[in-house]
Structure 1
Amino acid sequence: MNKILGFDLGGTKVLAAVLDKDFNILSRVKMKANADLGLNSVYKVICSVINDACDEAGIKTSDLSAIGGCAPGLVEPKTGLVYDSPNLGFKDFPLQENLSKDFNLPVKIENDVNAGLYGELHFGAAKGMKNVLALSPGTGVGGAIVIDGDLYRGARGGAGEFGHIVVQPDGPLCACGQRGCLEAIASRTALSQQILSFAVRGRIPMVIEEAKANLKKVKSGLIARAYNSGDPDVKAIIDYAARYLGVGMSNLVNSFNPEAIILGGGLIEALPEPFLEISTRVMREQAMRINGEEVKVLAAELGDDAVIKGAAKLASQLIA
């Protein structure tokens, strides 16, 4: 095997890297996704970042053995068709097929949380495990499943939508139309909305000073600084979200009986202690004892590299 390129398509950026046969990263390039300019613009950015990552590594795209990439939202497991990725404007978009034609290479496209868990499975926090789940509270709450060492995607690629487990009947309205979904309580988006609503009423002064009334500025770093400053409102909001994350985890533990749950994403990176400690305690209290007593709850180790390495590892299977 020669070199493989992995890329991570997110709502705001595209990150690509060239990896060697041992999955060491040789180059890394990031660009804005320009999602507001439409699907064709996003696709051009993907192609540009692939070319630039190869240039940075001192190779041509024809020197690659394969390309592995990921996208948020539902991805058809075999064809890499992106069914729906609303923030990017993708709707039934043949991303895998188009890239394979344009670069004349084998291409594997996967859901982003699946790729991240696969990276952690082979190179990070879940290395050596066989049955693992992932939860990633971010814009939504992403999830992924590994059973007997392989990703489980479901019949149409939609398995792992853990953000839409109902943990609080008649709770907050979720973007999916249901009430009380985990995503409506424990996502970074939900936390940002709650924190900003307090701030504009004169509470949480740190947030109103830094973010004014701009929801987009209430990001993980600001939430963490407000929490660590000892602000009681932020503490209450975070602790509440972490408790319900634990409720969701107890349902998953009883359903899958995993060795570990890997918590990832920027929010967990910024505030690992309250989320891991509170959610783990609640999970053990509510899960069946035989399922919950030994399952590990671990923070992801690889950050953005988990998705890149996971996508590259999946692509390597095309040429094995």
Structure 2
Amino acid sequence: MMDISGTNTSDAILTAKAGISAKRKAKIGALKGLMYFAAALTTVLLVGIIGYIFFRGVPHVTWNLLSTTPSLLTDNIGILPNILNTLYIIIIALVFALPIGVGTAVYLNEYATNKKLVRVIELATETLSGIPSIIYGLAGMLIFVQAMNMGTSILAGALTLAVMTLPIIIRTTQEALKTVPDSYREGALALGAGRWHMVRTVVLPSAMDGIVTGIILSIGRIVGESAALLYTAGMANEILTPLKSITPGNAGATLTVSLYMYAKERGQFDVAFAIAVILLIITFVINISAKLLGKKLKK
């Protein structure tokens, strides 16, 4: 009787486990299906948006558009000044933001001993990263344009965007540094390396992927920004030399500002879509270059 009862109990347990296992498999299958659906929907939307932009914009991308300046007298449409201004602002903003952002992250993660201060700074950077860009534009206008007498200029716009992208660089770099195993640090210090030498030769190369990700995110925000630049960089369409771009008082419209003007103010959507194509190409090229540079620096 005991054997029969034991056998029945064992069979019941196995049946219950099989039922639970079947339910888990069904839930896992449903979750996988939802993830695949979300991934497919995101891909379709992304490909659809990019495809539509290229469909509308590529036929209107001409050499005259890329190589000339706009003129109301000759009714010419050109975006060469806007392309150059965009590149100037990207370079100037990164020159200021990268050393400060990466240096701040290294200090917070590798040198700072006051944990309360670190938490306060982390909270501040997270808060600043969520502030609308137009508020940065207003602050940039008050500080760089008026208080520092830079006027509406490429330099004022670039400094405003440098401040705006600092939280992104700090947080992404800090998170990348946290992923480096402590054994790397301990091994370097045990071999007689100083703290800075350890950070420079072991920690930073190991965190290079995260740092490059922060750079790419920063470039994406710089390239796509228009509200802050309307306050600080202006809407001029004059071709500036690299020296003039860092001189106060020389205003210049970027591609995003130009896109806004053609689409919203003038209703020339064909030109706006052509500018959007150029923006996508520039962003893609810069991102690929940043990835390749990151791999080279890591080696």
TM-score (norm 2): 0.25
Give the number of the structure with larger relative contact order, counting CA–CA contacts within 8 Å between residues 6 or more apart: 2
| Structure richer in helix, relative to its length | 2
User: Radius of gyration: which is bigger?
Assistant: 2
